[in-house]
Amino acid sequence: MFTFEKKKKDTMVLNMGPSHNATHGTLRIVLELDGEKIVNSNLEIGYLHRGIEKMAEQRTYNGFIPLTDRMNYVSPIMNNISYALAVEKLLGIEVPKRGQYLRVIMNELTRIADHLVAVGTNVVDIGALTNYFYFFKERERIYDLIEKFVGARLTTSFTRVGGIARDVPDGFESDVKSLLKEIPKSIQDVDKLLTKNRIFMDRTIDVGSMTQEKALEYGFTGPVLRATGLAWDLRKTQPYSSYEDFQFDVPIGENGDTYDRYLVRMEEMRQSLRIIQQAIDNLPGGPVSVDDPHITLPPKEDVYNTMEGLIHHFMLIMYGIKAKPGYVYFGTEVANGELGFYIVSDGQQYPYRLKVRPPCFAIFQAFPEMIQGHLISDAVAILGSLNIVAGELDR
């Protein structure tokens, strides 16, 4: 049973969650309060644990992709891409340029959508509701585009091992270009409303700050680490999926507090727009998946009309992709930080062991230290700024 020991006498214990308006997911935070000040706190997670890693051991490599949607449900496409890249690394294959560029475009669109949610809901918790509507309007536009392309809004299952499910529909490029014109306006509006806003600054500056040393030791990655002043972005430092082709900057903060995290996220959205612009301008032609019948499904005409096509289709559906014995760890930069997959293969069509490295998990364990000595309302602001997604935290 979950136990909580009080540190001081004459304090009150307050239970936040597992179902609470300000936690954005099922997490439980037990706070010990002296007046409104937090003296001690404890966390309990695992309410959304579905045993994804155990399920992965019974599924083919492609069969696990739908489960990655359910990890970080705010940006499912990034999980799809991250997992596909890890398996491709294990198999030693590389996706054609067009597939890589389309992945980059979708990846960055989802990063914007994720940051829109993170910033939007964070400021709602602080009390600024208008920005939420400005941002969610744009998020809706991005989801419309994703729905047009993939067929689903949240449960995307966008990638396949060795490429993506299908090529883009007609009019995709003009849709993306019109989005690129619309999103900056909303970011500009929210920027004007919040960045120099006295109340917002008072609520966020020096709230939940973290030193760079401590952040690294805790295993922080992503915007929360960059807010402490370290320009560590896997897209720049260890490029994957053609990220080395694009020009973009890595924004950093200074103090690692809630305000800096907000600024980093806002700037990252603008940089993502820059990447999308470059990718859509230079979108190469050609196939989107690798041309290997042991990995990619053949086109439908071949399945119906040729013997080889039918055999390849049958073998892939019935037996799946086989990886040679070995292991791989591959981490990519998703909206929250580094999402990594550690896959051990024993030569079968199923992974022998699959371990997910969720970025939230490392970040959330530092939460009690961050809220120590702050007020309850600050704890809510800090929790929002960390962008904890329970589906990814518990898997």
Closer residue to other proteins in complex, CB, 38/90: 90
The answer for residues whose C-beta is within 8 angstroms of residue 107's C-beta and 6 or more apart is 77, 78, 81, 241
329 belongs to the binding site for other proteins (CB under 8 A): yes
**Binders of other proteins among 136-155, rule CB under 8 A?**
none
391 belongs to the binding site for other proteins (CB under 8 A): no
* Of residues 74, 5, 376, 390, the one with CA closest to residue 208: 376
306 belongs to the binding site for other proteins (CB under 8 A): no
Closer residue to other proteins in complex, CB, 126/215: 215
Closer residue to other proteins in complex, CB, 199/231: 231
> Residue 61 is encoded by which pair of tokens?
């490599």
In this structure, is the dihedral angle defined by the CA atoms of residues 238, 241, 245 and 248, taken in order, positive or negative? negative
Question: Cα–Cα distance between 203 and 225 in angstroms, integer?
Answer: 20
- Residue type (1 letter), 362: A
The answer for residues whose C-beta is within 8 angstroms of residue 75's C-beta and 6 or more apart is 110, 111, 113, 114, 334, 335
Which residues partner with 256 through β-bridges?
Answer: none
352 belongs to the binding site for other proteins (CB under 8 A): yes
**Binders of other proteins among 82-121, rule CB under 8 A?**
89
Least Å from the CB of residue 123 to other proteins: 28
- Residue type (1 letter), 88: E
120 and 136 Cβ atoms separated by less than 8 Å: yes
Closer residue to other proteins in complex, CB, 24/357: 357
The contact pattern for other proteins, residues 231-270, with x = CB under 8 A and - = no contact, is: -x----xx--------------------------------
Q: Binding residues for other proteins, per CB under 8 A?
A: 1-2, 45-46, 49, 51, 53-55, 57-58, 89, 214, 216-219, 221, 230, 232, 237-238, 326-331, 338, 340, 342, 344, 352-353, 355, 357, 361-362, 365-366, 394-395
